[in-house]
């Protein structure tokens, strides 16, 4: 059975202790007590409403018939309750009916949704991404027409990029946009892999579609963005006549079976330009960058569900005796949690999850600062930090989420491989997150090829400088000094790898490409190490106070030590791999494969 309860104590720790900061402008009224109540209610909704639909929804899947898509039983009712409670409006602007809550809180709620029912979460998640793109680049008329209904959940949203002949290389797309006398456009073309492209949850679906003008330049410079509703709004702003958008089929997928992934046809569909002509990629990247951080959160959510389920099983499943002698002699056998390899599985998932949660909230807090602070230098610093960490969050969190789901299956043994316990579903659901919104290999190339050299390495300094300052200040700390010194070795490997790529990669792009995936993993592990080092410092200071939270802080110290001793040493091998260069990767002729 799938197990999930929102890890509220850890979420409070990350928000109120690890990343505690001065209130943001315009958000002073958000007290810790208020944020706690929001997280608690969100946790109840996810565990009581969304989790019970997850396994049945996977079994039933979405059904397609004559262009109509039906979501699994219970999804419509859950979506109605979700929207009426305002969970999809947390971090939307109040002028469109949103609640103006910070990204830090919204990302934690998003993690809960993804942990409880990832398929469900894609519907409102994509709507929010479309909201962001339209809010950023749309005209006032478009925003006033569409955003209030998208924020309320009455209408949902999608992003329509991929075509049958092109995926990542969007410069090859063929969908056409022909100008009309009334200022609208006729959109014609085919899109595939469109999540939430057709469903029965909302009364209208607002597609953001990439297309070309007939005379547009070749490549990505000739792409424009259009808003294309499933139903054309009437004069009163409500859904009216059906537009020329139809669902030709839904994909038969490995996982996320309760999320409708559609093939869409646009046949002279009416659309309106979003942003400037031939500048569609800029507008779409507002949505894509938001979605990349959300996809990272999906990996974390699956990892947390995997951890809680595996722990529950490991405490109940009796098998063998502890290697040092029976620990539960009154039972027929010891629970498998006593065995070192099971504990390795569980501690690995735990260290990944809590480290990713801490890192994700750090990035979200910088998103809040980039939007709300008024000082130009502080705003730029926050924006550059988010830009640097976005590919790391997307790729690392999804890699680790998939790994965690597999470790949960290993913990369950044969019971994890069969459907009954719902653990194999987590593996299938997690796998796509490593692919969509730009494969993790693309994220690694973005980190190495764009973010590292940008502005002579200025983005990189947004991360390196606080890490260096922390190590300098805490490496002789009486309680955690040795732990910080171990972290410093990992950071040293990252610095050496960065210097190697700067020297070799700028002269030879293939060298940078050969190093990219390993470098992103190295960067990500060091970033998690920084979170664990800071966590250990707080725990070491709080433990002497005793009280009911002593066990919580003791667990933090133990997990931090596990991460530094059993996971972060991978940094050394990653450095050796990076310094091996491109030779063995590129030597084999294409025909020899």
Please answer whether residues 157 and 198 qualify as being in contact, where contact means their C-beta atoms are separated by less than 8 angstroms: no
In a domain, 94, yes or no: no
Helix (H) or strand (E) run with residue 188 in it: strand 185-195
Look at residues 241, 196, 211 and name the one whose alpha carbon lies nearest to residue 62: 196
Copy the structure tokens of residue 305: 């569900």
| Model pLDDT, residue 25 | 78
In a domain, 446, yes or no: yes
In a domain, 3, yes or no: no
In a domain, 86, yes or no: no
Structural domains of the chain, count: 1
- At 20 the three-state DSSP class reads coil
Look at residues 239, 345, 304, 405 and name the one whose alpha carbon lies nearest to residue 5: 304
Q: Which residue has the tokens 């929010």?
A: 128
241 class by beta-carbon count within 10 Å (0-12 exposed, 13-18 middle, 19+ buried): exposed
In a domain, 163, yes or no: no
In a domain, 455, yes or no: yes
pLDDT in tens, 21-72: 777 777 878 888 999 999 999 999 999 999 999 999 999 999 999 999 999 9
Give residues with Cβ within 8 angstroms of 452, minimum separation 6: 459, 460, 498, 501, 502
Tell me how long the chain is: 593
Q: Which residue has the tokens 């070309």?
A: 212
Helices (H), 317-335: none
In a domain, 503, yes or no: yes
CA distance 252 to 522: 35
Low-confidence ranges of the chain (pLDDT < 70): 167-171
Please answer whether residues 522 and 567 qualify as being in contact, where contact means their C-beta atoms are separated by less than 8 angstroms: no
Please answer whether residues 231 and 158 qualify as being in contact, where contact means their C-beta atoms are separated by less than 8 angstroms: no
Structural domain that includes position 544:
440-584
In a domain, 518, yes or no: yes
CA distance 579 to 501: 9
Helices 550-562 and 509-542, packing angle to 10 deg: 150
- The residues annotated as belonging to the active site are 437
CA distance 400 to 391: 14
Give residues with Cβ within 8 angstroms of 291, minimum separation 6: 125, 126, 129, 159, 437
CA distance 250 to 266: 15
């Amino acid at each position: 059975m799938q197990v999930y309860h929102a890890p509220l104590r850890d979420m409070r720790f990350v928000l109120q202790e690890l990343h505690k900061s001065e209130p943001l402008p315009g958000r002073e009224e958000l007290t810790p007590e208020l944020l706690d109540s929001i997280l608690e209610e969100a946790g109840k909704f996810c565990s009581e409403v969304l989790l019970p639909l997850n396994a049945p929804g996977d079994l039933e899947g979405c059904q397609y018939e004559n262009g109509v898509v039906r979501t699994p039983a219970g999804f419509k009712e859950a979506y109605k309750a979700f929207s009426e409670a305002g969970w999809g409006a947390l971090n939307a602007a109040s002028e469109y009916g949103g609640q103006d809550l910070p990204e830090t809180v919204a990302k934690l709620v998003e993690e809960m949704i993804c942990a409880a029912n990832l398929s469900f979460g894609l519907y409102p998640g994509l709507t929010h991404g479309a909201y962001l793109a339209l809010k950023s680049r749309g005209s006032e008329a478009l925003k006033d027409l569409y955003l209030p209904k998208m924020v309320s959940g009455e209408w949902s949203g999608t992003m329509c990029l991929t075509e049958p002949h092109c995926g990542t290389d969007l410069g090859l797309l063929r969908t056409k946009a022909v100008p009309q006398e009334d200022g609208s456009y006729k959109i014609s073309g085919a899109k595939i892999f469109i999540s939430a492209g057709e469903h029965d949850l909302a009364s209208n679906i607002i597609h953001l579609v990439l297309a070309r003008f007939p005379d547009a330049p070749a490549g990505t410079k000739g792409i424009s963005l259009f808003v294309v509703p499933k139903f054309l709004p009437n004069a009163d702003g409500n859904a009216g006549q059906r537009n020329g958008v139809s669902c030709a089929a839904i994909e038969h997928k490995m996982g996320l079976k309760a999320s409708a992934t559609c093939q869409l046809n646009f046949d002279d569909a009416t659309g309106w330009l979003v942003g400037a002509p031939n500048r569609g990629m800029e507008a779409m990247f507002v949505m894509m960058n938001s979605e990349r951080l959300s996809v990272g959160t999906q990996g974390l959510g699956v990892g947390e569900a995997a951890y809680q389920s595996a722990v529950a099983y490991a405490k109940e499943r009796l098998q063998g005796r502890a290697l040092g002698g029976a620990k539960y002699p009154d039972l027929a056998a010891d629970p498998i949690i006593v065995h070192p390899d099971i504990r390795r599985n569980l501690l690995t998932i735990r260290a990944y999850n809590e480290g990713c949660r801490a890192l994700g909230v750090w990035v979200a807090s910088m998103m809040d600062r980039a939007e709300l602070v008024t000082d130009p230098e502080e705003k730029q610093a926050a924006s550059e930090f988010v830009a640097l960490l976005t590919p790391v969050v997307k790729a690392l969190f999804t890699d680790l989420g998939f790994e965690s789901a597999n470790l949960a299956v290993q913990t369950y043994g044969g019971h994890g491989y069969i459907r009954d316990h719902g653990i194999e579903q987590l593996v299938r659901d997690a796998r796509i997150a490593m692919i969509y919104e730009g494969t993790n290999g693309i994220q690694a190339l973005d980190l190495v090829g764009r973010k590292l050299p940008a502005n002579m390495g200025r983005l990189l300094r947004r991360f390196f400088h606080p890490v260096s300052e922390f190590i300098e200040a805490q490496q002789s700390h009486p309680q955690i000094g040795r732990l910080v010194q171990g972290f410093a070795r990992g950071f040293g490997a990252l610095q050496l790898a960065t210097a190697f790529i700067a020297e070799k990669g700028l002269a030879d792009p293939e060298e940078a490409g050969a190093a990219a995936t390993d470098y992103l993993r190295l960067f990500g592990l060091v970033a998690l190490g920084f979170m664990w080092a800071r966590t250990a410092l707080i725990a070491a200071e709080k433990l002497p106070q005793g009280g009911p939270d002593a066990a919580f802080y003791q667990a933090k110290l133990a997990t931090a030590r596990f991460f530094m001793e059993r996971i972060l040493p991978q940094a050394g091998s990653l450095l050796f791999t990076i310094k091996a260069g491109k030779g063995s990767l590129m030597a084999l002729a294409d025909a020899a494969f």
